Each structure stands twice: as C-alpha cells, then as structure tokens.
Amino acid sequence: MTNGRLTTNFFARQEQARRNCRKLGLLFAGAVLCIIAAVYFAFRLICYINLITNIITVPGPTANSAPSGSFAWWDPASFILVFSTVALFIFIASIIKMRQLQKGGGTVAEMLGGSRVPENTDDPAKRRLLNVVEEMSIASGIPVPLVYILEREQGINAFAAGLGINDAAVAITQGALDRLSRDELQGVIAHEFSHLLNGDMRLNIQLIGIIYGILIIGIIGGEILEHRRISSKSIVLFIGGILLTVIGYIGTFAGRLIQSAVSREKEFLADASAVKFTRNPLGLASALKKIGGCIYGSQITSATAKQASHLFFGQSDIDVLFPAFLATHPPLIKRIQLLDPSFDGTFPAAKDIPPRLFSPKPDAAVSFLDKIHGSPDPPIAKDIIDYVGNPAVNKGSAILASLPDQIKAKLRTPDGAATVICALLTPDNNTLRKYQFHDLQHSLVMPGHEDDFLRLCDQIAGLKNGQRLPLVELALPSLRSLTIMERRNFLETINSQVNADGKITLPEFCVQLIVQQYLGSKDESIFGETVFSHLSQVGYQIFIILRMLANAGNKGNADAARMAFNAGVARIPELACKNPDYYYTEDFNFAEIKTALKKMDCSSFKIKQVVVDACSHCAFADRRITVTEAELLRVLSLALHCPLPPFAPEY
C-alpha cells in the first residue's frame, strides 16, 4: 500500500519525522531566498521608477537626474539591506505564529473555527464521536485527546493537531459528523491517530508557522492595495503594494509546494496505518468514496485553511493554476483503489445518516492477540517493539465496554474525573478513606457526598488491574478543563493522598506520574530538540529503571529479580560491558525514578527504542508476564512518549 521508504515501526517513523523537519528547513530556506530575490528586484524597480519620475517631474538638472541608462540594477548595499530585512521579517513572523500554536492542538482547532465537544454531551452524534476517540485512545495507550467539531464546515474532513500526545486535539467537520457511519468515522479517526502516533503533528505545526512567514509579504501587499488610493504622491507606494502582492503569490506557490512535498507521502502511510489499526479497509475506503460523492467534497471554507491544508484528512482547497502539481494529498481515486481494488470510480451520493451508538460487549470482543498475530499465543519480548504505536481498536472497544457505566459517567465532568483519580489513590482501609475524603473536601475539586465517594472507592477496588490505566487516560480530557489554580490545587491534593500513609506504592506512583505529566507540564518545545543522543549519557538512568522493573516484577525473589535485570542489561552491549551493580530492594526511590524517566525522555528515539526493548526483555525474563508487569511497562513507555497499547492476554 505504501512505497518502500515508508515504515510502520514507531521508532523509525519518529526518526523519519525528525529528518523531515530538517528537510522542511532546507525547503524553507530555499523559499526565503526566492522571496528575497523577488523583493530585491522589486526594490530596485521602485528605485528606477522613482528615478524616472524625478526626471520627468522636476525641471532642470538635479542631483538625482542621472540618465536611466546608467542605473545599476545590482547594488551590494541594497541587496544586503533587503536580505537582512526580509529574512528577519519572515523569521520573526514564523516564530510568532509558532509561539501562538505552541499552546497545543486545541489552539489550532479553534484557529480553524472548531468548537470543543464537552465530555458530558448528550447529543447522540457527538457522543458517538467521543466514543470512537476514546476507544482509539485506550487501544493506543495514550491520553484521550481533546475533540472539536468545525460546525460551519459541510465538507467531509478531519485533522489532528498538537505537539505531542499530551496536548493533542482531534477535529472533524460537521459534514463528516452528519454523513459518516460509525465504521467510516472510525476509519477517519484511525487515520488521524496515525498522524498523532507517527510524529507528524509537530512537523505540521512547524509547517503552519513557516507558511505564515512566507505568506506575510503578500498579506502586507494586499493591505497596502486595499487601504491606499492612487495619487501622484502615492504612486510609488501603490506600485510597491502591487509588487508585494505579486511576491506574495510567489510565497503562496512556494508554501503550497512545501506542503505538497511534505504531506502527500504521509497520507499514504496514514491510510495504511489506519487499516492496520481497525482491520477494516472498507470503512476508510467508504469514507473516501463519500468525499467524492458529497457536493461539498472535503472543502474547508475557513480563511485560515490554506496555511493548514496539509493537516486535513482530505484535500481542503484546490489551487486554481496548478491543481494536480500543488495538491497536498494524493488523488482521491488512487487512495480508494489502494484500499478497495474493486472500486470502479463511481462515487455514491453522500447523505445524512442517523448516528448509531455501538459499543461491543466485553465477551464479544475479538482478542487483541488474535487480531495482531492470528493466534492466541502470548506475546514475547521481541514483539513489544512492534506493538509500540500500533493499536488494535477492538481491544480498546472491549476495555471501554467493560468499564462500569457509573464510573464512565463521572469521568465526563472535571469534578467527577478528579474524584475518580482520587478514588484510584485511596487505599482499601476504610479509616484512611474517610480521612482522605475529609481532606479532599478542603480542595477546590469537591468529591461529592461521603457515601458516594466510599461507594466509588469500592467499585474501583473491584476493577481488574488492566482497567485502571484506561480510567486515568479517560479522565485526562475532563481534567484539562480545570482552571490553572484548580489544576495546581488538584496536583497538590493527589500528592497529599499518595503520601497520606507515609509510603508510596508503585500503582500510586504510576497514576501520579501520568497525571502530573499531563496536567503539570509546560508548553512543549515546538522544535522538540534531542538533548541526549548517546547511550553513555543516560546509562545510569537506564540501570535505575531496569532495577526497578526487575524488583517490582519479582517481589520476594531476589534471584529471579537479578536474572531479569541481567536479561534487560544484556540487550544493551554498550552498557553490559560495564558490569553494572545490582541490588534487590522493595523500597523504591521514586524521586530518583522520576528524574531518570525525565532525562531519558529527552533522548533520541533510537535510544528510547533500546530502552523499551531492554525493559520488555527484563519483564519477560521468566517467559511470562502478569497484567501488573504489563501495565508498569506501559506506564514507563508512556513516560517516554512511546505509547504501548494493552497487550496482556487478559486484563
């Protein structure tokens, strides 16, 4: 379905995305040089016109009345002035735009006219959309992104935006919400999640900033023409406006060329990944067919759509002069035929359909391992790397359906989601529960009535281990609605809860780590620089994580823990040759573990792949893995921004 250069390995895709960032920088530099050359020529032309104007209008010889034939078109001083001014101007405009978008995917969605879908909505169509996004998030092992609808757009389209999995947003048009069936919607959302998991979103945000910087010249020219009347005194300025507008078209052409160069190849990979996620190529193919049969197609009417056309699921606007050459997406028919070879080119009419809320029963869900490998055999360590960033939707559907409806209802409001997180951190001891409840009453996030809170604690205590992490992932979008003060207060509250009994357990640490990473993190860097690129720079931190994983997975058995630690270290020859010290302990230094994870998160994805592989071999050292070990491995992977889907045979 894709060419040989494309890969479905998560870590290779991330490195490919970073190489594309460098490629984007070269394309940007080339476009800026073209614009500088055009501006320089325009500047010299204005000087020439001004010279001619002075000769004609001023009687008698003057200092400026040199013959036009002696005019020098090449002037190094003028070129240096134009070069420095234009380059600085474009660079500043791009950086300002990128800084605006650094707040996350929600900012991009709102820029394009999106309205956030509240988690507690009762609208059937919106509820179905949230349900599909939640299933995909659980299946991917990532926090549920914010969901938006472009209510003014009747074309069938969608996009994902953000700098990472912690600030992502998914948006679809009203036309897609009204006209797509659940299977079709699932295919489109899976396509957008593949962009999220492939590392495309950061590149897309950078591209929006770059396109804006390139277009700013034309925007200024348009403003001059719109607000300036022609007169003998303003003729030069008016001509300057015309020239800047023409140069703006050069910028538009260069911007669309960059968008098409970066975007087309990624769309084929996203289609292929979506099919791998859903195991339903006809669902995605049917959505593409409806674009062809819809009177609005995939068109986006927002004025800001051009600078973000590479984000969308389908072609959001068509260039008038070069529709095929500057297309940001592959031809629609070609995309469909790769998914459905029997397609004859006839598009069905796209009609509004009533939303169907469908969620499979837990006992009817298809096994995740059956879907991935075609057999019920349990996974082995070497398989884990292939699981990272490759969800199976049926697993997410089954887990979501298995959660009690009362708990899911609470997750749809900020206070309810905060209460669920607090209940997850509450021990089985009733005395401690009541003490913590009274402590929570002094927080800004109210836990409700005491009996209701204790009942919720009992419900959560009865959940299986594999259902706890999905609860945290589902709670995060609602928690994102808390004000800055409420977030700070909530983080202090859960910190107080975790330390209430004088000790921190591993499950408590995992919940606290994810919530703090999601709510307590500052805006991510738009460039995502890699700080550590050599294993020797993070070797000590890798030993800390492997030691913790080995001890946690073999509690009470020091020999088995040592064997697990050695199995993990053996996967990294550069570190194994140093004969690292090992000691068994059940008292973990969680501050040290948190610091180690934070440092490793700043490493290259090549190093992260080595770390995840070593951790998986550490966990599988005894040739079996419990759900508790699997969930711990998933939390560690999520902390490194390498989402690992649920993979244990049972949950």
List, by residue number, the catalytic residues.
Answer: 192
Q: 39: Cβ–Cβ under 8 A, 6 or more apart, which residues?
A: 82, 86, 217, 244, 247
Instruction: Single out the residue of 12, 2, 132, 644 nearest to residue 372, CA to CA.
Output: 644
Q: Do 494 and 510 touch, CB atoms closer than 8 A?
A: no
Instruction: Single out the residue of 588, 540, 539 nearest to residue 561, CA to CA.
Output: 588
Instruction: Please report how the helices 450-461 and 414-424 are oriented relative to each other, as an axis angle in degrees rounded to 10.
Output: 60
As separate numbers, helices (DSSP H) first and strands (DSSP E) second, the chain gives: 26, 4
Q: Which residues share a beta bridge with 160? A: 170
Work out the burial of residue 640: count CB atoms within 10 Å of its CB; fewer than 13 is exposed, 13-18 middle, 19 or more buried. buried
Quote the tokens at residue 598.
Answer: 């934070």
Q: 458: Cβ–Cβ under 8 A, 6 or more apart, which residues?
A: none
Tracing tokens 């009347």 back to the chain, one arrives at 229
Instruction: Single out the residue of 190, 615, 121, 133 nearest to residue 389, CA to CA.
Output: 190
Report the alpha-carbon angle 124-128-130, nearest 5: 115
Could you give the 3-state DSSP secondary structure of residue 158?
strand
Q: Do 368 and 394 touch, CB atoms closer than 8 A?
A: yes
Q: Which residues share a beta bridge with 161? A: 169
Q: How far is CA 286 from CA 183, 454, 543, in A?
A: 9, 47, 49
Per the rule left: phi > 0, alpha: psi between -120 and 50, beta: everything else, 619 is alpha
Instruction: Please report how the helices 506-519 and 484-498 are oriented relative to each other, as an axis angle in degrees rounded to 10.
Output: 170
Q: Do 144 and 476 touch, CB atoms closer than 8 A?
A: yes
Residue 422: alpha-carbon gap to chain centroid:
27
Amino acid at 476: L
Residue 234: alpha-carbon gap to chain centroid:
48
Quote the tokens at residue 56.
Answer: 């004609």
How far is residue 175's CA from residue 263's CA, in Å, rounded to a whole number? 23
